Amino acid sequence: MFYGTHKGEEENVIDTREESIKALRAVPIIAWALTNGLDDVALRRRPAPDAWAAIEVVAHMADTDERALERIRRMRDEEAPELAAFDQDALAIERAYRTLAIEPTLQRLQGTIAVLVADLGGLDDAGWRRIGQHAAHGRISIADYLAHVAAEDIDHLAQIARLRDRHDDPIDRLP
């Protein structure tokens, strides 16, 4: 739900659309910083057998943001399109996330977010309100979906930070 106002409206409150874009722009910068200095072992180490390593989280973010770009374009260009769910675990196996190199994966994330932000810059108020029917979230506007995407990315950055903290823990480095 949109709580802010936009050009031509009387109140001057926080623009939640811009706040989502601002958060999204920060994602690649923080992802680069969090993975900087991690060696290959640390990037690929899983904290538990059923948990993802840092490289897997970054690859998931890149894939998810690519799907967000595709979905937002469909919402912009089609009338209430069906937005199918995808199996993130199957995609991680199919694309072998754990074997990927970190730098190209971060570059893909950064590039996708840059295109997404550029596309969003062209939306007017009516464009932000265009909707899609998401398999998991139901009827959702572009504005609400973007807020969801930005929040998910921030949550994944926190996940990488926790993995990094674990790597920095001397107990974790014991044989």
Residue 175's pLDDT is what? 31
Domain with 169, as residue range(s), is 16-173
β-strands 131-134, 138-141 pairing: antiparallel
- Asked if the structure places residue 98 within a domain, the reply is yes
* 101, part of any domain: yes
- Between 122 and 175, name the one with better pLDDT: 122
pLDDT digits (tens, 9 = 90+) for 108-152: 999 999 999 999 999 999 999 999 999 988 999 999 999 999 999
CATH code for position 43: 1.20.120.450
In a domain, 1, yes or no: no
Predicted confidence at residue 7, as pLDDT, reads: 55
Residue 13: band (very low, low, confident or very high) from pLDDT cuts 50, 70, 90:
confident
User: For the chain, what is the domain count?
Assistant: 1
pLDDT score, position 51: 94
Q: Which of 46, 52, 142, 54 is nearest to 88 (CA)?
A: 52
Structural domain contains residue 10: no
